[in-house]
Structure 1
Amino acid sequence: MKLLHANGKRGAHTTSWYAASAEAPGPFEPLKGEVRADVAVVGGGFTGLSAALHLARAGAKVVLVEAQRVGWGASGRNGGQVAPALNMHQDVLEARLGRPAAEGYWRIGQEAVALVRALLDELAPEADWQPGVLHSFWQQGEAEEAAQYAAFLRREYGYESQEVLDAGGVRRFIGTEVYKGGVVDWTAGHIHPLAFAFGLARGASEAGADLHEMSEVHRIAPEGGKVLVATDRGRVLADQVILGCNGYMEGLAPKVQARVMPINNYMVATEPLGDRAAEVMPRNVAVADSKFIINYYRLSADRRLIFGGGESYGYRFPQDIAGKVRVPLERIFPQLEGVKITHGWGGTLGITVKRVPLFMRPAPGVMSAGGYSGHGVALATKAGEIMARAVGGDEDDFELMARLPCPPFPGGPLLRTPITTAAMMWYGLRDRLGI
């Protein structure tokens, strides 16, 4: 069984608070018969929808195929945090790839947030941009390192958007005693991610892109000087293909699949907290903490706590997602012990060994971007725009992103999951022991 079909009802969005609070576009009819296109886009998440939107606006004939529904995967299930940088710090990028390349990655990260905000304003104001992402730290040493890095960014990149907090400062933002310090990034922000994905889909369709849901791709191959994209009931013959599949790459591009590994992450939404919301989150920022198995959370527009925590590998989500996520939620917020959880859901994202995105050309006429490793809202949206520009001949940013170090996972297809699972169990134990 593929990950695409392992959890939930086929053709239906997961039972998340996001799906319950956003109006889906379409439905878009499945692909039938043979069509021709300048570009075929595979995947209806942020990457594919952004690519389709920008290509259609540039005048290309675009056909997008999605195995489930637009926004069905990680794009519609994540924490909604919009961050302006890669997971790899700028000083590390400088050491590995040089200052000019590092400056390019910094520019792309900043542009990614600006692009999301512009598209939100135009296509999905209901996604409700809220400024501020707080990175909070369980250990004093982590907080001190983060403060030093904030000073580095201010000194070397002129970045003045971060606010360094001590433990007392963190408590002005979060109603908990567990953190020793933090850094708020005010350029970053948080949104309703599925509403944003739906806005991108409507925008792409209105721009002239042909969107097809329930159209799972089984084969991508050269044919007669074109690239064939074959689904259950249809075929697209295109000059170029863009892959935006992230963690759902199974069988389509082995070179990509070797470097992007799917992992499952879990989220819950509490009942509306009413007056208690101000005690739990005095300031309406999103939070991501320093646990290796990260906890991340924010308030929704109707004052629920949207909380993510816990990871797993393999195909199946746990039966009791709410119970799994309740453990870290109540550890951070003991005042919410026993709070009613109205929605619990899982999602599959893509990670790479170095936790930086993978941009590559896995076959002639085919481009791919994915492996955003938790930074996908901004980076995936920007990736779609970068690949759309590359189709038009402006390849500089694509080639720059393709230089990021993304080796294959050790162990190959059979062993990479147990190897990585063992590593995650070790880091999970460290988290619990406070090491």
Structure 2
Amino acid sequence: MNLLFSNDKRGTYPGSWYAADATALPSFAPLRGETRADVCIVGGGYTGLSAALHLRELGYDVALLEAHRVGFGASGRNGGQLGSGQRMDQDGLEDLMGQDVAHQLWELAQDAKALVKGLIEKYGIECHLKPGIAGFGFGKKDVTELQDYAHKLQDNYGYSDIEPLSAEQAHALCPSPAYKGGLMDHGAAHLQPLSFALGLAKAASNAGARIFEMSHVHQIKEGATVIVQTDQGRVKADHVILAGNGYLGNLNRKVAARVMPINNFIAATEPLGDAATRVLAQDIAVADTKFVVNYFRLSQDKRLLFGGGESYGYRFPSDITAKVRKPMTEIFPHLRDVKIDYAWGGTLGITMKRMPYLARVAPNILSASGYSGHGVGNAVQAGKLMADAIHGQDTGFNTLASIPTPSFPGAGALRTPLLTLAMSWYVLRDRLGV
């Protein structure tokens, strides 16, 4: 079974608030017949669109193949949070990679935020970019860890846009009884993710990238000239970029062994009006310390956009609304009976260490995926770094590619049950407050 077609109608965006809110782009025609390109990109999300845009700015002829519509996957369904740092915190990176590389990865992450903000400004992308993400904890231990981490970034990394929050300060921002303090990152941001993806697609197309939608890639033949085969055509290219993330499937076995697709879910309530201040007193986003993270923010029409709950395997649950309502009401008990207008799921890619997997999987094939819930910045930057690497400037790509990315245990049908068992343990820890 293919995740590309397991939960969605082909070529139709999911019934999300994002799709209802975004200004649609005219569809791009599918690839028919054979074409030639300097670079063929497989996947039309943030990674692929960023790569296409930056390659065109460098003068390359680009063909991008998307099985559905641009921004169809995680890029158009996620929580819209442009976070600071990498998905693994700096403490973990220092242990894993050493102080020097950890600082390089911090600077790369700072560059990723600046890149996203710069693209939005340069191309006039209307995606409701707003500053601020808070991190909240549930008990003394995780609150202290968040506060200490804020101090560490201030002291060791010179990051002045972050501050620790006491319980009173946290409650002034988010009056949920569940949270006991944390940190506030003023340098992070949030946005409408599908509108951002569509803006990138428009910019790439205007720059001369040839985008083909409804063009499912089912075979890649490696060689000096790579042949990328779709249902109705094929591309012959000097270079290929794999940008399918959780939807890449088995197009490349090396990537498939290291990047596991999982599903995550979001609901959008009815507009809350003045009652929105009982959720958030300021227009910020929030992510908490649960292993299966709760993340939320307000839309511009004052809906609560709440993400929570995961599943493993191919199919989404039959009642996504109920799946998200449960963690939502744990954080906001007063919203137990609020009407939910939209509920949707999406598939993302994770790695064992929750760091992106960048690799040269063949001499002329680059891949980036496994952003593990940190893709708004990571994916856009990865697209640029792969464009730069093709152009001969591979320092940033090589830094991220140097991060060890072990394969998931098991193989084939055994891999998902093992992941499910491991994740279930962490979910149980969340429930027990361990």
Cα deviation, residue 104, structure 1: 1.4
- Output the amino acid matched with 2:158: G
| Cα offset, 1:91, TM superposition | 3.0
- Listed one character per residue, the Cα deviations across residues 144-180 of structure 1 (whole Å, up to 9, x for unaligned) are 1122222221111111111111111111111211112
Residue in 1 that maps onto 2:203: 203
Contact 1:124 1:195 in 2 (8 A): no
Q: Distance in 2 between matches of 1:406 and 1:24?
A: 37
Deviation string, structure 1 residues 354-400 (Cα, Å, up to 9, x no partner): 00000001123100001000000011000001101001000111111
1:82 aligns with 2:94: no
Return the TM-score normalized by structure 2. 0.98
* Cα distance in 2, alignment partners of residues 269 and 370 from structure 1: 27
SS at match of 1:55: helix
**Partner-residue secondary structure (3-state), 1:186:** strand
Aligned to 2:133: 133
Q: Counterpart of 1:40?
A: 40
Structure 1: 5+ residue stretches without partners: none
2: CA distance, partners of 1:339 / 1:161: 35
Distance, in Å, in 1 between the alignment partners of 2:157 and 2:424 is: 37
User: 1:387: which partner in 2?
Assistant: 386
Decide which moves more: 136-145 or 42-51: 136-145
Distance 2:91 2:285 in 1: 25
Give yes or no for the alignment of 1:175 onto 2:175: yes
Q: Secondary structure at the match of 1:242?
A: strand
Percent of paired sites with the same residue: 53
Deviates more, 1:202-211 or 1:334-343: 334-343
1:98-157 deviation digits (Å, cap 9, x = unpaired): 222112111110010011111112335420111101111112111111222222211111
Equivalent pair of 2:151/2:164 in contact (CA under 8 Å)? no
Counterpart for residue 260 of structure 2: 261
Q: Which residue of 1 aligns with 2:69?
A: 69
Q: Name the counterpart of 2:142.
A: 142
TM-score (norm 1): 0.98
Which has the larger displacement, 116-125 or 251-260?
Answer: 116-125
Residue 156 of structure 1: aligned partner: 156
User: In 1, are the aligned partners of 2:171 and 2:181 still within 8 Å (CA)?
Assistant: no
Structure 1 distance, partners of 2:20, 2:130, is: 20
- Rounded to whole Å, the distance in 1 between the matches of 2:389 and 2:90 is 25
One-letter code of the match for 2:350? Answer: I
In structure 1, C-alpha distance between the alignment counterparts of 2:235 and 2:286, rounded to whole Å: 42
Q: What's the counterpart of residue 53 of structure 1?
A: 53
User: Which secondary structure does the structure 2 equivalent of 1:177 belong to?
Assistant: coil
User: Is contact 2:245-2:369 (8 Å) kept?
Assistant: yes
Is 1:360 the equivalent of 2:336? no
Amino acid at match of 1:286: A
Q: Is the 8 A contact 1:280 1:333 kept in 2?
A: yes
User: Which residue does 2:395 correspond to in 1?
Assistant: 396
In the TM superposition, structure 1's runs of 4+ consecutive aligned residues that sit over 2 Å from their partners are 122-125
Residue 31 of structure 1 is matched in structure 2 by 31
- The aligned amino acid for 1:261 is M
Q: State the partner residue of 1:329.
A: 328
Following the alignment from structure 2 to structure 1, what is the Cα–Cα distance between the partners of residues 148 and 319? 40
Greater mean alpha carbon deviation, residues 65-74 or residues 355-364? 355-364
Matched AA of 2:366: M
Q: Which amino acid aligns with 1:392?
A: H
Aligned-partner SS, 1:219: strand
Equivalent residue of 1:126, what SS? coil
Bigger mean CA deviation after superposition, 119-128 or 31-40: 119-128
Find the counterpart in structure 1 of residue 14 from structure 2: 14
Give the conservation status (yes or no) of the 8 Å contact 2:257–2:411: yes
- 2:430 alignment counterpart: 431
Secondary structure of 1:422's match?
Answer: helix
Aligned to 1:285: 284
Tell me the distance in 2 between the aligned counterparts of 1:66 and 1:160.
Answer: 40
Q: Which runs of 5+ in 2 are unaligned?
A: none
Letter in 1 for 2:119: L
Match of 1:186 in 2: 186
2:100 alignment counterpart: 100
Look up the SS of the partner of 1:38 in the other structure.
strand
Amino acid at match of 1:283: Q
Aligned residues of 2:299 and 2:305 also touching (Cα < 8 A): yes
Q: Following the alignment from structure 2 to structure 1, what is the Cα–Cα distance between the partners of residues 99 and 323?
A: 43
- Post-superposition CA distance 1:328-379 (Å, at most 9, x none): 1111111112100000000000000000000001123100001000000011
Name the SS of the counterpart of 2:194 in structure 1.
helix
Residue 213 of structure 1 corresponds to 213
